[in-house]
């Protein structure tokens, strides 16, 4: 049997036999190709071509020169970067806000989903869900405006609440206090995305076999025990996948919140890697330096993603890639 097949697919025969069906199928599928190739090319231009721009980080890039006329400087920009004190401050801010965001922004939606899952009054559950998804659809520009308003010293609800409860004797200027900035960013993000991020956990909970809860009830398990022994293990795979992806995005936290909530008085706490790249790269026209910052950012995210994935693969048999 094997030999017969081998004979049939002799070297010349193989390539001829495989190629002809390929081109034939291609012709048959010409509509499918026509419907996908333009968009794949589109992605190559808008998503892959910018990678070519990474070469700028190794040049003394001048926009007026062509690629061949650029002067190559090796790792000079990276060395300057690692010698800049500002870089470490910015890295600290980036890491601080991403780790806070990861811990709070990851744990609270799970708790929120668990609480929601325990609500038996369907109309109340639906109302809370509908309302909690809403801020996700509102732009950061508006959210920043709302946050600034809520935290303001004249008439901001946060200061008023703290004053009436007697926790503070005079209003706190939250927006001008650097040490508050990380907290403000983390909590604003939580306010905006908590409901939205709970959707996936609620969906996972809906997939848990109701018989498990019935059995637990018969055994007299309390609600908390049911959550601990049924709900949490039931959503464990979802939790791990979301965690790995969040770790991968740890350093690419974006800069919208920091840009919009920050102001000159808190800049030492608000500046993150992307903003640093933006200020140097486009603000000051130091394109090569800005690109080097961007590359550092991407490399760290990729390393973190692989690390997280590797750790979880080993300890939890869970992988996203």
Partner 1 sequence: MTGSRKGWDDRLFDIVNYLFLTVVLLATLYPFLNVLAISLNESTDTVRGGITIFPREFTFANYQAIFEYDNLVTGFMNSTLRTVIGTVLGVFSSAMVAFTLSRGDFQGRKMFSTVLVLTLYFSGGLIPGYMLMRDLHLVDSFWVYVLPGMVNAFNIIIVRSFMDGLPFALQESAKMDGANDFAIFWRIILPLCTPVLATIALFIAVGQWNSWFDTYLYNSSNPDLTTLQFELMKILQNTTVGSTDANAFRSTQGQESTAAAVSPESIKMAISMVTIIPILIVYPFLQRFFVQGMTLGAVKS
Closer to partner 1 by Cβ: residue 10 or 139: 139
Q: Give Cβ neighbours of residue 118 (< 8 Å, ≥ 6 apart).
A: 223, 227
Site residues (CB under 8 A) for partner 1, limited to 121-160: 124, 127-128, 130-135, 137-142, 144-146, 148-157
Which helix (H) or strand (E) element contains residue 13? helix 11-28
Number of chain residues interacting with partner 1 (CB under 8 A): 97
Q: Which residues of 189-206 are buried (b: 16+ CB within 10 A; e: fewer)?
A: bbebbbbebbebbbebbe
Closer to partner 1 by Cβ: residue 6 or 86: 86
Minimum CB distance to partner 1, residue 213 (Å): 11
Cβ(197)–Cβ(132) below 8 Å: no
**Interface mask (CB under 8 A) for partner 1, residues 27-56, using x and -?**
--x-xxxxxxx-xx-xxxxxxxxxxxxx-x
Q: Which of 286, 291, 290 is nearest to 62 (CA)?
A: 286
Site residues (CB under 8 A) for partner 1, limited to 51-80: 51-54, 56, 63
Q: Which of 34, 185, 228, 176 is nearest to 97 (CA)?
A: 185
| Residue 15 binds to partner 1 (criterion: CB under 8 A) | no
- Contacting residue, 103, 203, 284, 307, with partner 1 by CB under 8 A: 203
Cβ(104)–Cβ(183) below 8 Å: no
| Residue 244 binds to partner 1 (criterion: CB under 8 A) | no
Angle between helices 236-248 and 287-316 (to 10 degrees): 160
| Residue 191 binds to partner 1 (criterion: CB under 8 A) | yes
| Residue 243 binds to partner 1 (criterion: CB under 8 A) | no
- Contacting residue, 81, 90, 110, 175, with partner 1 by CB under 8 A: 175
Closer to partner 1 by Cβ: residue 151 or 253: 151
Only one of the segments 76-84, 92-100, 254-262, 307-315 lies at the binding site for partner 1 (rule: CB under 8 A); that segment is 254-262
| Residue 161 binds to partner 1 (criterion: CB under 8 A) | no
Site residues (CB under 8 A) for partner 1, limited to 274-313: 274, 277-278, 281-282, 287, 290-291, 294-295, 297-298, 302, 305
Q: Give Cβ neighbours of residue 72 (< 8 Å, ≥ 6 apart).
A: 58, 59, 60
Closer to partner 1 by Cβ: residue 96 or 221: 221
Between CA 64 and CA 70 the distance in angstroms is 9
Q: How crowded is the C-beta side of 80, counted as CA atoms within 13 Å?
A: 16
């Amino acid at each position: 049997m094997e030999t017969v097949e081998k004979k049939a697919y002799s070297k010349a025969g193989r390539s001829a036999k495989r190629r002809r069906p390929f081109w034939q199928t291609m012709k048959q599928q010409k509509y499918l190709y026509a419907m996908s190739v333009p968009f794949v090319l589109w992605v190559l231009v808008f998503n892959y071509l910018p990678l070519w721009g990474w070469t700028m980080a190794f040049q003394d890039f001048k926009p007026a020169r062509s690629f061949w006329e650029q002067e190559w400087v090796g790792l000079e920009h990276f060395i300057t970067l690692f010698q800049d004190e500002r870089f470490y401050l910015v890295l600290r801010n980036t890491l601080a806000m991403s780790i806070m965001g990861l811990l709070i922004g990851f744990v609270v939606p799970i708790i929120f989903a668990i609480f929601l899952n325990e609500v038996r009054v369907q109309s109340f559950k639906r109302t809370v869900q509908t309302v909690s998804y809403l801020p996700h659809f509102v732009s950061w520009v508006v959210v920043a405006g709302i946050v600034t308003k809520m935290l303001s010293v004249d008439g901001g609800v946060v200061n008023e609440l703290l004053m009436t409860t007697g926790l503070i004797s005079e209003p706190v200027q939250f927006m001008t206090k650097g040490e508050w900035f990380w907290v403000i960013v983390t909590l604003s993000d939580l306010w905006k995305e908590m409901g939205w991020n709970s959707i996936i956990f609620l969906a996972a909970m809906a997939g848990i076999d109701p018989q498990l809860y019935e059995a637990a009830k018969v055994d007299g398990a309390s609600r908390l025990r049911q959550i601990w022994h049924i709900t949490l293990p039931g959503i464990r795979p979802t939790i791990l996948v979301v965690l790995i992806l969040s770790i991968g995005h740890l350093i690419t936290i974006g800069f919208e919140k920091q840009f919009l909530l920050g102001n000159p008085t808190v800049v030492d706490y608000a500046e993150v890697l992307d903003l640093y790249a933006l200020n140097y790269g486009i603000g000051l026209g130091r394109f090569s330096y800005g690109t080097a910052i961007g590359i550092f950012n991407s490399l760290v995210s990729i390393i973190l993603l692989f690390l997280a994935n590797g750790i979880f693969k080993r300890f939890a048999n869970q992988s996203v890639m």
